[in-house]
Every structure is written in C-alpha cells, then in structure tokens.
C-alpha cells in the first residue's frame, strides 16, 4: 500500500493534489491541504476561445486609427464600397470560354453548383463580393470596382 506524501499514512486511495506548486499524492484526510489537479487549469498555454484577439493587418490598423477606433473590422466597411461590374455575365462567360471550360468545369473549381454559375452568366444572379473575388482569381479577370 502506498504512503501519503503528506502524513505518511498508508492508504489505498491516494489523491493527487497541488500543494504550493508541487504535485503530491496524499490521503483523504490530507487532500484539503492542496487543490485537486483536475480542477486546476492546464497552465496558460491556450486561451479560452472567446478571447480570440482581433489581429489587424498594418493597413487595417492605420484605417482603424484614422477613422473610428471602436470599429473593429475595417474589412467589412471596405466591402460596402465595392460592387460587381455590370457586364459581369459577359466577362465571366468570355473568360471561361477562353480557358475552354464548360460551366460545369468552372462550377467545380468554384465549388458551386452549375446552375448558380449559369444564372450568373445569364445575369439573373449577381455574385456577392466574396464570390466575385473567387471568380476573379480563378478566371484572372476583374469584376469588382470601388465606388468610394
Ligand atoms: Zn495524509
């Protein structure tokens, strides 16, 4: 039978506790000298998720400082001024055909359904900025303009 490291009593049921920074195995009657290991936070290696800090880029920092210091995300404000050019259906279709891709080929690259793309090429659906950015990147064209 192991000994309690605190009082030396032999016991079947040793409890690991932290006493003044040291981890000790103690008996039932000594465990109140320390704090149980289970409830102790696992050091400060990882921060709780909700305190994920906003880390702005250098440019964002400048903009935040210049405008409203309380506004945390300049990126979204940027997007407000952006719009997809009117001739996007033609631009997309031409660029796609230049690559000799079918609508399906392009849709796959975009990880979208084919009818989303065919609606866009018919002008029935205007892609949002995020989607337009994807199209720009994949097709090597320019679809977004800044109205500001
Ligand atoms: Zn003890």
- 41 C-alpha to ligand 1 centroid (Å): 24
Is 50 inside a domain boundary? no
Ligand 1 centroid – CA 1 distance (Å): 13
What would the pLDDT profile of 15-61 be if each residue is shown by its tens digit? 999 988 899 999 999 999 998 876 545 555 555 566 566 677 777 66
Ligand 1 centre from 16 Cα, in Å?
Answer: 11
In-domain check, residue 45: no
pLDDT average, residue stretch 55-75: 60
Q: Model pTM greater than 0.85?
A: no
The mean per-residue pLDDT over the stretch 63-77 comes to 54
- pLDDT for residue 40: 47
Residue 35: which domain range?
1-39
Terminal CA-CA length for the chain = 78
User: How far apart are the CA of 24 and the centre of ligand 1, in A?
Assistant: 10
The tally of domains found in the chain comes to 2
Question: Can you give the pLDDT at residue 52?
Answer: 61
């Amino acid at each position: 039978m192991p000994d309690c490291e605190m009082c030396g009593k032999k016991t079947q049921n040793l409890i690991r506790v932290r006493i003044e920074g040291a981890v000790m195995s103690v008996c039932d009657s000594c465990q109140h000298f320390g704090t149980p290991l289970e409830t102790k936070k696992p050091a400060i290696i990882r921060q709780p998720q909700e305190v994920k800090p906003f880390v702005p880029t250098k440019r964002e920092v400048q903009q935040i400082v210049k405008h409203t210091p309380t506004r945390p995300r300049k990126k979204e404000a940027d997007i407000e001024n952006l719009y997809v050019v009117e001739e996007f259906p033609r631009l997309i279709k031409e660029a796609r055909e230049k690559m000799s891709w079918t609508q399906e080929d392009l849709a796959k690259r975009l990880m979208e359904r084919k009818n989303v793309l065919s609606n866009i090429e018919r002008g029935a659906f205007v892609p949002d900025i995020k989607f337009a950015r994807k199209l720009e990147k994949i097709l090597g064209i320019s679809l977004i303009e800044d109205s500001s």
